[in-house]
Amino acid sequence: MPGPGAYLVGSEEKKELMDVIESGHFFRYGAENDPRFQQKVLQFEKEFASYSGAKYCVAVSSGTGALMSALTALNIGPGDEVIVPGYTFIASLSSIILSGAIPVLAEINESLTIDPDDIVKKITKRTRAIMPVHMLGNPSEMDKIMEIARQYNLVVIEDCCQAAGASYKGKKLGTIGHMGAFSLNNFKTITSGDGGMVVTNDELLYERAFAFHDQGHKPNRTGVEIGNRSIIGMNMRMNELTGAVALAQTRKLDQILETLRNKKNKLKSELKSTMGVTFRRINDPFECATLLTLLFDNKETAEKFGQKVGAKTLAHSGWHVYNNMEQLLNLKFDLDDGEIMEYRKHMLPQTDSILERAINISIGVVDNGLGAGYGINIRSTDEEIAVVGANIKEIMKEILS
Ligand SMILES: Cc1ncc(COP(=O)(O)O)c(C=O)c1O
């Protein structure tokens, strides 16, 4: 049960992939004067950068790798704190920790993205960065976040892993902060099985992110550049087979988003004036529309509803909630002033109270791991949407009677 891009894999992906297989060049680098070498990764980087309105893009092997490349490019490491919401995938936190820095958890608000008021409360003398997560395809409140960043001299890394193609106030996500990180795993808006990308408008940050993902090398090397490697890096390169599929999917992104927005609007209008339920706040209509989050008046109603459709409330939906991240809850960090940073269950009461009243209905991402096993998908017809809408209404009538 994947994301919308996976539902639409077809002849376009096959053609790009066959180009690579027939060329025999699977590595992203090769002899540029060999006419058989297709350079799909390079082409993908160019097209995704242009699609995003960003100057630069580095294709990498995962969204986690994209976050690590961005954090390293920005020189975030030991002694630094990064403010990040408690409702996100573990990779947002693990990338901070494995960069040597400390994640500081902040509350979400009813948009299910980071609460700007809580960011301000979490700032200390160690804070270096904010990592807003555009959760479930909904843009974070970027104008407030960028204002806080300016005021406190912080950098902003947008975790866009669940939000490829969405925009906030006319700007594509990933290009508002200093750097943006995307994922191409199977559950994302577009997919190549696994993969990711980093975007930025800053040439130095691009060079550093590129270097981190490829053993310190300069962008688009033709050799091994002995003597020219500025930082210690890793291998998070994308290969040509992955690049080929990512390229075909990027070309479908606008069509995917338009289809999802239409289907979500249809389902929302079926649910108009249903008692006892509202929708989470959407911060920009050009969100991804991959999910419809229902917010119930109370936890009991949400749980009853969940039982009827075979879904869990977001509080219990699995590994996107800090309370359910046992590998985080075991950690402690010594801070420089003798204090300790610990991660305790229920340390974010506002987040807990929103998530226990929330249920995700799938629109384009059908994923039990997000609590979205029930709903529609990108191929659902109007009739199927009407059936789901009628079912939700009927269940609410039953629960409230
Ligand atoms: C919000 C968020 N951040 C980061 C990631 C990590 O992406 P990947 O699985 O490609 O490493 C994901 C993927 O599930 C995610 O949802």
Element (H, E) at 291: strand 291-296
Residue from 400, 187, 385, 396 nearest 306 by CA: 396
Cα distance between residue 26 and residue 363, in whole Å: 35
Where would I find the beta strands (DSSP E) of 131-285? 155-159, 167-168, 171-172, 179-183, 196-200, 277-279
The count of C-alpha atoms lying within 13 angstroms of the C-alpha of 197, restricted to the half-sphere facing its C-beta, is 34
Q: What is the pLDDT of residue 337?
A: 84
Cross-sheet strand order for the sheet of 56-60: 56-60, 196-200, 179-183, 155-159, 127-130, 81-85, 102-106
Ligand 1 pocket, Cβ-based, cut-off 6 angstroms: 62-64, 88-89, 91-92, 133, 159, 161-162, 183, 185, 196
* Residue 135 Cα: closest atom of ligand 1: 1
> What stretch(es) of the chain map to CATH 3.40.640.10?
4-250
Residue from 164, 83, 88, 78 nearest 123 by CA: 83
> What stretch(es) of the chain map to CATH 3.90.1150.10?
254-313+357-400
Residues 254-313+357-400: name the CATH superfamily: Aspartate Aminotransferase, domain 1 (3.90.1150.10)
For the chain, counts of helices (H) and of strands (E): 14, 14
Cα distance between residue 366 and residue 290, in whole Å: 9
Q: Residue of the nearest CA to atom 8 in ligand 1?
A: 63
> Length of the chain, please?
401
* Residue 95 Cα: closest atom of ligand 1: 4
Element (H, E) at 384: helix 382-400
- The 3-state DSSP class for residue 133 equals strand
* Residue 62 Cα: closest atom of ligand 1: 10
Is residue 16 classed exposed, middle or buried when 0-12, 13-18 and 19+ CB atoms within 10 A define those classes?
A: buried
Most informative mutation of 131, 140, 185, 365 for ligand 1 (most atoms within 8 A of CB) = 185
**Radius of gyration in angstroms for the set of CA atoms belonging to the chain, rounded to a whole number:** 21
Residue from 383, 368, 366, 356 nearest 310 by CA: 368
Amino acid at 324: N
Ligand 1 center–CA 184 separation, angstroms: 9
Q: Is 188 a catalytic residue?
A: yes
Element (H, E) at 85: strand 81-85
Ligand 1 center–CA 182 separation, angstroms: 8
**Contact call for residues 104 and 127 (beta carbons, < 8 A):** yes
Q: How many CB atoms lie within 10 A of CB 382?
A: 11
Question: What's the fold here for domain 4-250?
Answer: Aspartate Aminotransferase; domain 2 (3.40.640)
Q: Residue of the nearest CA to atom 4 in ligand 1?
A: 91
Cα distance between residue 297 and residue 302, in whole Å: 8
Q: How many CB atoms lie within 10 A of CB 188?
A: 29
Q: How far is CA 338 from CA 78, 118, 307, in A?
A: 16, 24, 46
Most informative mutation of 68, 89, 136, 238 for ligand 1 (most atoms within 8 A of CB) = 89
* Residue 133 Cα: closest atom of ligand 1: 1
DSSP string of 146-186, one letter each residue: HHHHHHHT-EEEEE-TT-TT-EETTEETTSSSSEEEEE-ST
Ligand 1 center–CA 160 separation, angstroms: 9
**Contact call for residues 250 and 41 (beta carbons, < 8 A):** no
Residue from 141, 77, 143 nearest 111 by CA: 141
Q: Which is the catalytic residue, given 40, 188, 264, 266?
A: 188
Instruction: Report phi then psi at 233, rounded to 5.
Output: -125, -165
Look-up of token digits 């459709």: 309
What does each of the 401 residues of the chain score in pLDDT, given as a tens digit? 689 999 999 999 999 999 999 999 999 998 878 889 999 999 999 999 999 999 999 999 999 999 999 999 999 999 999 999 999 999 999 999 999 999 999 999 999 999 999 999 999 999 999 999 999 999 999 999 999 999 999 999 999 999 999 999 999 999 999 999 999 999 999 999 999 999 999 999 999 999 999 999 988 876 777 777 889 999 999 999 999 999 999 999 999 999 999 999 999 999 988 888 999 999 999 999 999 999 999 999 999 999 999 999 999 987 899 999 999 998 999 998 889 999 999 999 999 999 999 999 999 987 777 777 799 999 999 999 999 999 999 999 999 88
| Token pair belonging to 255 | 């069509």
